[in-house]
Amino acid sequence: MTALALYNGLPTQTVPSTNRAVAYGDGLFETIKVETGRAQFLPLHLRRLIRDCARLDIALDEIALRSEIAQLLSQRESGVLKIIVMRESFARGYFAPPHSPSARLLQFFPQVFVDDERSHLGVAVRLCRQQLSEQPSLAGIKHLNRLEQVLARSEWSETAIAEGFMFDRAGRLIEGTMSNVFLVRANKLYTPRLHRCGVAGVMREIILTRLAPELIPAIETDLLPIDIAQADDVFICNSLIGIWPVRKIECLQKTVGDVTLALQQKLTQLIADEAR
């Protein structure tokens, strides 16, 4: 994996090893689709980044960031722009001064976006065993502590499965490993509330505030597996894929197993013996 990268405006393939992103995942990121040099929905991405930097009390040089984005995208290529904002290193240990300055790592991964049949035909998803922990202090933020997603994504390697749905420890549907989830039922649109955990994606916000209002009532609420089962439509979304219909959710059909059969037979026998 190679990427064109700028660290605080300077071309580089490395970051300082004392960086707090390396040590603690102390930072945030944005993943933005770029078509011929144009970053899609850039104002929304920057607004979220600025808001979430404030939540983590990280100072961000917005002017430098905007100038670096322009610099990195000047080749007018298509691909993925990833912005990582990292709290600057201080002394060894967790403490950092209030409103600490941050370093900016911008990476550009060239990619040609073709009409993706998954956006028409839909995708298959699985249900992840790895659960999300509840942490209101971090809920909604696209921060760099992503081990839960890494563990969830390690549960499958079949390329036929596009995404995995993740639940919190109370069994509520929260999101996909790299997407947000929406359900349609009886002409209403539902998506999980993200005040306990999950990432509040920019595409999710676009759907809730820009696309749905003239089409269908949209509701943020708690959703359970039964709500997935009873949904008319299901789709996932993020800034790179846009909206992908979900065609198939990991199947729960079973056959009659040998152990069940053997136990049934033994129970029948036991009941017969007891009745004698």
Cite the active site residues: 31, 142, 175
Closest approach, Cβ 103 to a second copy, in A, equals 11
For 193-210, give one letter per residue: b (16+ CB within 10 A) or e: bbebbbbbbbbbebbbee
Closest approach, Cβ 13 to a second copy, in A, equals 6
Contact in structure between 201 and 239 (CB atoms under 8 Å):
yes
| Residue 26 sits in the site that holds a second copy (CB under 8 A) | yes
| Residue 105 sits in the site that holds a second copy (CB under 8 A) | yes
| Residue 113 sits in the site that holds a second copy (CB under 8 A) | no
User: Which of 9, 25, 37, 225 is the binder for a second copy (CB under 8 A)?
Assistant: 25
Q: Which is nearer to a second copy, 89 or 239 (CB)?
A: 89
Number of residues in the chain = 276
Residues 36-55 that bind a second copy (CB under 8 A): none
Letters for 199-238 (x = contact with a second copy by CB under 8 A, - = none) are ----------------------------------------
Give the binding range for a second copy (CB under 8 A) out of 68-76, 90-98, 183-191, 254-262: 90-98
Which of 121, 140, 124 is closest to 132 using CA atoms? 140
| Residue 161 sits in the site that holds a second copy (CB under 8 A) | no
Closest approach, Cβ 216 to a second copy, in A, equals 31
Closest approach, Cβ 23 to a second copy, in A, equals 7
| Residue 147 sits in the site that holds a second copy (CB under 8 A) | yes
Which of 196, 166, 161 is closest to 179 using CA atoms? 166
Closest approach, Cβ 203 to a second copy, in A, equals 16
Q: Which is nearer to a second copy, 169 or 266 (CB)?
A: 169
The count of residues interacting with a second copy (CB under 8 A) is 65
**Rg of the chain over all Cα atoms, to the nearest angstrom:** 23
**What is the full DSSP assignment across 84-99?**
EEEEPP-SSSS---TT
Cα–Cα distance between 134 and 151 in angstroms, integer? 16
Contacts of range 182-185, beta carbons closer than 8 Å, 24 or more positions apart: 182/207, 182/234, 182/235, 182/236, 182/237, 183/223, 183/227, 183/228, 183/231, 183/233, 183/234, 184/216, 184/231, 184/232, 184/233, 184/234, 184/235, 185/227, 185/230, 185/231, 185/232
Q: Where along the sequence are the contacts to a second copy (CB under 8 A)?
A: 1-3, 5, 7, 12-26, 29, 56-57, 80, 82, 84, 86-87, 89-98, 105, 107, 109, 130-131, 133-135, 137-138, 143-154, 157, 169, 177-178, 197
